[in-house]
Structure 1
Amino acid sequence: MLEQNQRLSRSLLWRCQRAFYEQQGIEAWRQAHIPNFITSNPVISRAYAQVVLGWMRDWCAASRGETGRLAAPEPGQPFYLLELGAGTGRFAFHFLEAFRRLHARSQLRDVAFRYVMTDLSERNLEFWLSHPRLQPFLEEGLLDVARFDAERDEELVLRRAGTVLAPGTVANPIAVVANYFFDSLPQDAFTLRDGVLHECLVSVSSPRPGSEVEAKDFLERATVSFEDHEVRGACYGDAELDGILEDYRERLDDVTLLFPSGALRCLRRLQRLAGDRLLLLSGDKGHASEDELSDRSSGVSLVRHGGAFSLMVNYDAIGRYFRLRDGHVLRPIHRHASLHVGAFLLGQPPDGHGETELAYEEFIERSGPDDYSTLLKRMEQPFEGRTLEELLAVLRWSGWDSGVLMAAFSEWMDQAESASEPLRQEVCWAIQQVWETDYPLGGEEEDLAFHLGMLLYVMDRPAEALTFFDHSLRVGGLDPATYFNQGMCHLRLRQDALALECFEQALALDSGFTEAREIISQVQSPDWKGVDADEAPGEEPP
């Protein structure tokens, strides 16, 4: 037994969690331990960009610069957009791609902004600073990074600019993005029965004595259990937190609820940083209302992700915290199926939050990330039998997400090979959009460049296919199948000598590569007359 009947927010589980993220860095996502697709795709990023732009319009509505266009409350100073727990950086990339276009075409184009990616792990910061997709934003000064410990830090130091963001130094309101973040901050758990509040205290044991709690596989081996203990007196000695908890005791019964004590303390520090002018956009699995909390009576559910874990987020408590400060809460009127996205507002722009509310209603509530995630799961199973027009429509709807294309890749191959020339041109354009939208982590199991090359090959675009096969070899490493495919492209381009070099490279890497050996023999034969798109031996790349 490593600990017994401990308050959940003080448990060694959180120390274990911090160690996992700090040690693993980006590997936590590369190895698929941590789910992130639902909060890191182009659709949710575009939706957030629209809401943030509306929020900036609200704050700039009363000010105009010399050009007559909108100006910031403090002209010459940027709006800071902070992302907490930015992880891979994929959300930031998609957000900045969308937001830069919207911003440049709006009345806000003279208003400066700077997006700041934050995380606990130094390894993640190093990954972002070297990622090729983020370099243009870093060089333009639209992006910076900072280490931020959400459990302790009061200020941030921007690595590129050297600027210190601290209470009293930030001139304009701050927007904060927190996706899949609050579920990993310390929380507490309580049960209400017959008007009596019980705290769910945690016990943690390990099958091995002297177990190292900071080992990356500790959580996979540990046994975690909870036991109810009646609460006597104030729980936190904090008027706001105790007040919210007391309100639950008076209004709910036969309920087990999580209480986001770590998130609320973090938000208190961010509120001071923002000078009480704050937008929080947060997406996660959680409970957004008192009615949703009332449905819970089955205890605490801890979800493990390799060496990390997560809990549901009590967004109702976060909303109560904002309302206690005369803030405003936006949430969908319907119950979410996959992802709850809430907007929480502090401070009052001159004419209110009309633009923010309109953008939230249009891009989050009506057809937002939750609906996208729910429908996409249904559409992916199965993709068989979809026409090329349908596949293109889904890909456009996804914002050219490479994962959507890869999920139906065999269908793309079948349909594209027999497609008309106008449709092939549409697919070629789509391939370019997917490539420009992709945010690679490095070390992925699926080589996107290789697959896009295959798709171009079956549409008789050998020159374009070669470009992607070249990239696959540079980034993914030497591979006999890629060399073979390059050889087939060179044959279609009547470049037999180059083709032979590629086939010989494939054989050098894999001496048992029968197709390569056979095609070399055919090309070197006196009877060889070359190939065209309809007669190429081994037309389907392996």
Structure 2
Amino acid sequence: MPGVEPTGFVLEHNQRLSRSLLWGGQRAFYERQGIEAWRRGLLPSFITSNPIIGRAYARVVLGWMRDWCEASRGEPGQPFHLIELGAGSGRFAFHFLEAFRQLHARSRLRDVGFRYVMTDLPERNLEFWLSHPRLQPFLEEGLLDVARFDAEHDEQLVLRHSGTVLAPGTVANPLAVVANYFFDSIPQDAFSVRDGVLHECLVSVSSPRPGPEVEAEDFLEQATVSFEDHEVRGACYGDAELDGILEDYRERLGDATFLFPSTALRCLRRLQRLSGDRLLLLSGDKGHASQDELSDRSSGVSLVRHAGAFSLMVNYDAIGRYFRQRDGHVLQPIHRHVSLHVGAFLLGQPPDGYGETELAYEEAIERSGPDDYATLLGRMDQHHEEMTLEELLALLRWSGWDSGLLMAVFSPLLAQAEAASEPLRQEVCWAIQQVWEADYPIGGEQDDLAYHLGMLLYVMERPEEALVFFEHSLRRYGEEPATYYNLGMCHVRLQQDAQARECFERALALDADFSQAREMLSKLQSGE
């Protein structure tokens, strides 16, 4: 890749990518934003945070536990630990735990303990999880804990709720690790092969103003990034495993540019020590899963910007090579992904092999996995208005009662529910309850789920049930004139005139121009 002359004020020139000051800006973004990054929709998360992917991973993890418990039931009295790296909003953890607890309780492993550990870098995220109402039952049952984890340095985890320390030599049973949209956001390096010669793509960063603070909110948005190839002479890392993978690429790849997950591999090495060399990694991200996919790339390195942060593609082929070097196994779809590649990487040898893990992966990921779900859902999004009520309900069932999907289909659902027969209305009521129970709110989101569920119940002539959801809306989103108006209409239908007047009066106090509330109040006062 030819060099590109930096423009503006040069902040660094020809630096190794993993050592770039860009990562300081990345850390500052996550520390500064905390949970707000997901509340404000600054980061993509739906494809890795819905009930479908939660249940798919739960099935694979349970199959993996079966393999390890086939001959023995694990270390008596000690749980299997499941660690999520970069748990973010906590939405994936909630969906995973909801699915896994049900599957686990109905399996022959019901007496084998487990503990899910959510980790992240910002303290604010840990505090959010520890106080989240949806996670409290799991914390109280000892099925969930949280820990701060720095993927670049940490070798142990201190669990905040229980006080347990997970360190090498203390983890009795094999370890499962989940890393969704994680490896794409931690330091990587970049290389290219040209005519059989390995080059490192060194980064230069410039700014339109001199000496900006890396921690500044707009640093990454304003930064200009360019890369220049420099021939690699000798060992790049002084690490036999990492340098061995690079040498293999030099020999086998044609002309190509590729990213190298050096930080991820070192992090996995530390987790491997923690696990006693018995590890399952389940990871979903955008990336390249094979040497063929890497060979298709002859262009340069590109950063995907996310309103103050950035991400890179993940070289899952390199991660797979690392596991195979250690006599591990790699499971990945035989077809190319559209949006999300989900791979399973295994270390250690259970008594009778990985038959249950492989079967669960084939059924939950390979045949109809999260990537297929997101792909088909995107297509259906263009046809919601054409769907019958039965089709909309089928879509919600398929989604695992995803609240985001309900909001997407709300308009046709509302129109058809109002005119539906009583048996179909009962099915809609059942769907409403399932969606509500499967929802994981993070606060400050644009869509008020409780309000919309109340509207559905109201048009189906269930004012008493609708009242409950409008009251939920007031508690979650604060006082809104439309919510008070709808509360008033529910009280009217229930012939509770005094309560109805209070609601209409409150709606007018919040919005003096609310003509519908004024009209209803006038009718009540005149006795109509």
TM-score range, shorter chain: over 0.9
1:117-164 CA distance string (max 9 Å, x none) = 000110000000000000000000000000000000000001111111
2:425 aligns with 424
Matches within 5 A, 1:133-532: 133-526=134-527, 528=528
Q: What is the CA–CA distance in structure 1 between the aligned matches of 2:211 and 2:488, rounded to whole Å?
A: 57
2:64 aligns with 55
TM-score (norm 2): 0.98
Q: What is the CA–CA distance in structure 1 between the aligned matches of 2:142 and 2:220, rounded to whole Å?
A: 40
Structure 2: 5+ residue stretches without partners: 1-9
1:9 aligns with 18
How far the C-alpha of 1:5 sits from its partner, in A, is 0.7
Residue 33 of structure 2 is aligned to residue 24 of structure 1: yes
Q: What is the CA–CA distance in structure 1 between the aligned matches of 2:525 and 2:461, rounded to whole Å?
A: 24
1:315-336 CA distance string (max 9 Å, x none) = 0000000000000000011111
User: What is the identity, as a one-letter code, of the residue corresponding to 1:212?
Assistant: E
User: What is the identity, as a one-letter code, of the residue corresponding to 1:87?
Assistant: G
Q: Secondary structure at the match of 1:115?
A: strand
How far the C-alpha of 1:460 sits from its partner, in A, is 0.5
1:120 aligns with 121
Q: What is the CA–CA distance in structure 2 between the aligned matches of 1:489 and 1:93, rounded to whole Å?
A: 33
Match of 1:43 among 52, 64, 67: 52
1:453-475 CA distance string (max 9 Å, x none) = 01111111100000000111112
Q: Secondary structure at the match of 2:335?
A: coil
Residue 42 of structure 2 is aligned to residue 33 of structure 1: yes
User: What is the identity, as a one-letter code, of the residue corresponding to 1:520?
Assistant: L
Q: What is the CA–CA distance in structure 1 between the aligned matches of 2:83 and 2:154, rounded to whole Å?
A: 14
Q: What is the CA–CA distance in structure 1 between the aligned matches of 2:17 and 2:246, rounded to whole Å?
A: 15
User: What is the identity, as a one-letter code, of the residue corresponding to 1:245?
Assistant: L
Q: Secondary structure at the match of 1:4?
A: strand
User: What is the identity, as a one-letter code, of the residue corresponding to 1:157?
Assistant: V
How far the C-alpha of 1:52 sits from its partner, in A, is 0.3
How far the C-alpha of 1:253 sits from its partner, in A, is 1.4
1:533 aligns with none
1:359-404 CA distance string (max 9 Å, x none) = 0001100011110010011111231121000100110000000000
How far the C-alpha of 1:24 sits from its partner, in A, is 1.2
1:265-296 CA distance string (max 9 Å, x none) = 00000000000000000000000001111111
Q: What is the CA–CA distance in structure 2 between the aligned matches of 1:54 and 1:161, rounded to whole Å?
A: 27
Q: What is the CA–CA distance in structure 1 between the aligned matches of 2:324 and 2:467, rounded to whole Å?
A: 58
Q: What is the CA–CA distance in structure 2 between the aligned matches of 1:134 and 1:216, rounded to whole Å?
A: 31
User: What is the identity, as a one-letter code, of the residue corresponding to 1:518?
Assistant: E
State the Cα RMSD in Å: 0.7
Q: Secondary structure at the match of 2:386?
A: coil
Q: What is the CA–CA distance in structure 1 between the aligned matches of 2:211 and 2:297, rounded to whole Å?
A: 36
2:4 aligns with none
Q: What is the CA–CA distance in structure 1 between the aligned matches of 2:475 and 2:394, rounded to whole Å?
A: 32
Q: What is the CA–CA distance in structure 2 between the aligned matches of 1:473 and 1:77, rounded to whole Å?
A: 43
How far the C-alpha of 1:208 sits from its partner, in A, is 1.2
How far the C-alpha of 1:191 sits from its partner, in A, is 1.0
How far the C-alpha of 1:213 sits from its partner, in A, is 1.0
Q: What is the CA–CA distance in structure 2 between the aligned matches of 1:403 and 1:416, rounded to whole Å?
A: 18
Matches within 5 A, 1:77-88: 77-88=78-89
Q: Greater RCO between the two (CA within 8 Å, min separation 6)?
A: 2
How far the C-alpha of 1:210 sits from its partner, in A, is 2.1
Q: What is the CA–CA distance in structure 1 between the aligned matches of 2:406 and 2:19, rounded to whole Å?
A: 44
How far the C-alpha of 1:301 sits from its partner, in A, is 1.3
Q: What is the CA–CA distance in structure 1 between the aligned matches of 2:386 and 2:337, rounded to whole Å?
A: 30
Q: Secondary structure at the match of 1:441?
A: coil
Q: What is the CA–CA distance in structure 2 between the aligned matches of 1:519 and 1:19, rounded to whole Å?
A: 52
1:538 aligns with none
2:3 aligns with none
Q: What is the CA–CA distance in structure 1 between the aligned matches of 2:312 and 2:13, rounded to whole Å?
A: 20
Q: What is the CA–CA distance in structure 2 between the aligned matches of 1:41 and 1:381, rounded to whole Å?
A: 20
User: What is the identity, as a one-letter code, of the residue corresponding to 1:42?
Assistant: P
Matches within 5 A, 1:67-86: 71-72=73-74, 74-86=75-87
User: What is the identity, as a one-letter code, of the residue corresponding to 1:375?
Assistant: L
Q: What is the CA–CA distance in structure 1 between the aligned matches of 2:368 and 2:217, rounded to whole Å?
A: 39
TM-score (norm 1): 0.95
How far the C-alpha of 1:497 sits from its partner, in A, is 1.5
User: What is the identity, as a one-letter code, of the residue corresponding to 2:89?
Assistant: T
Q: What is the CA–CA distance in structure 1 between the aligned matches of 2:214 and 2:147, rounded to whole Å?
A: 27
User: What is the identity, as a one-letter code, of the residue corresponding to 1:407?
Assistant: A
User: What is the identity, as a one-letter code, of the residue corresponding to 1:4?
Assistant: H
Q: What is the CA–CA distance in structure 2 between the aligned matches of 1:333 and 1:406, rounded to whole Å?
A: 33
How far the C-alpha of 1:257 sits from its partner, in A, is 0.4
Moved over 4 A (4+): none
Q: What is the CA–CA distance in structure 2 between the aligned matches of 1:216 and 1:459, rounded to whole Å?
A: 47
Q: Secondary structure at the match of 1:149?
A: coil
1:400-435 CA distance string (max 9 Å, x none) = 000001011111111100000000000000000000
User: What is the identity, as a one-letter code, of the residue corresponding to 1:305?
Assistant: H
Identity %: 82
User: What is the identity, as a one-letter code, of the residue corresponding to 1:25?
Assistant: G
User: What is the identity, as a one-letter code, of the residue corresponding to 1:52?
Assistant: V
User: What is the identity, as a one-letter code, of the residue corresponding to 1:11?
Assistant: S
Q: What is the CA–CA distance in structure 1 between the aligned matches of 2:355 and 2:22, rounded to whole Å?
A: 42
Q: What is the CA–CA distance in structure 2 between the aligned matches of 1:381 and 1:222, rounded to whole Å?
A: 37
Q: What is the CA–CA distance in structure 2 between the aligned matches of 1:480 and 1:382, rounded to whole Å?
A: 32
User: What is the identity, as a one-letter code, of the residue corresponding to 2:191?
Assistant: F
User: What is the identity, as a one-letter code, of the residue corresponding to 1:20?
Assistant: F
Q: What is the CA–CA distance in structure 2 between the aligned matches of 1:15 and 1:107, rounded to whole Å?
A: 47
